[in-house]
Amino acid sequence: MRVELIVNGERRTVEVEPRMSLLDCLRERLLLTGAHAGCEHGVCGACTVLIDGAPARSCLMFAVQADGYAITTIEGVTPAPGELSPIQDAFCETHGMQCGYCTPAMILTAHALLADNPDPTRADIVDAICANICRCTGYAQIVEAIALAAERMRGLNQPARKP
């Protein structure tokens, strides 16, 4: 079947079997390998992408179901070659990862959270990421990364404070 996806702002037409998951379509057809397969039954969250801005499990969705939707992958939130978004940079600052496998999904989840809630509490952050399993970090440095990113992003475009 032919589907039209809007991926990271670009219209992409792909020919897929009806049973192909959105995750497989992104990885194998569009070569966007930042989304990862972890469990393929919707628990671990490693395949998370944003669909119309909301986090979704790309392993639980068929590519054909995504027809017409705006899909954002980790490749789409990276500002430019060699550059990092404030959230990506905050994950580096706190070392909010180890093996890096769950990281793109965590960062997309954080993007969705901070778009809705620029000043989240620890509990808000934990709620937002509780459906993304990280086996390496015990989550502490991930929670800190998101809090740090929120703080920095709230400061953006603000006049510099006078000493």
> What does the binding site for other proteins look like in residue numbers (CB under 8 A)?
17, 19-20, 27-28, 32-41, 43-44, 46, 73-75, 78, 84, 88-89, 91-95, 97-104, 107, 122, 125-126, 129-143
CB atoms under 10 Å from CB of 124, counted, come to 16
**Which residues 6+ apart lie within 8 Å of 61 measured at CB?**
21, 22, 23, 51
CB of 77 to other proteins, least distance (A): 9
CB of 57 to other proteins, least distance (A): 12
- Nearest CB to other proteins, comparing residues 39 and 68: 39
- Nearest CB to other proteins, comparing residues 7 and 73: 73
Strand 48-51: give its sheet, edge to edge.
10-15, 2-7, 70-72, 48-51, 54-57
DSSP string across 114-131:
HHH-SS--HHHHHHHHTT
CB of 162 to other proteins, least distance (A): 29
- Nearest CB to other proteins, comparing residues 148 and 159: 148
CB of 116 to other proteins, least distance (A): 18
Contact 5, 66 (CB under 8 A): yes
Residue located via tokens 């628990």: 43
- Nearest CB to other proteins, comparing residues 68 and 135: 135
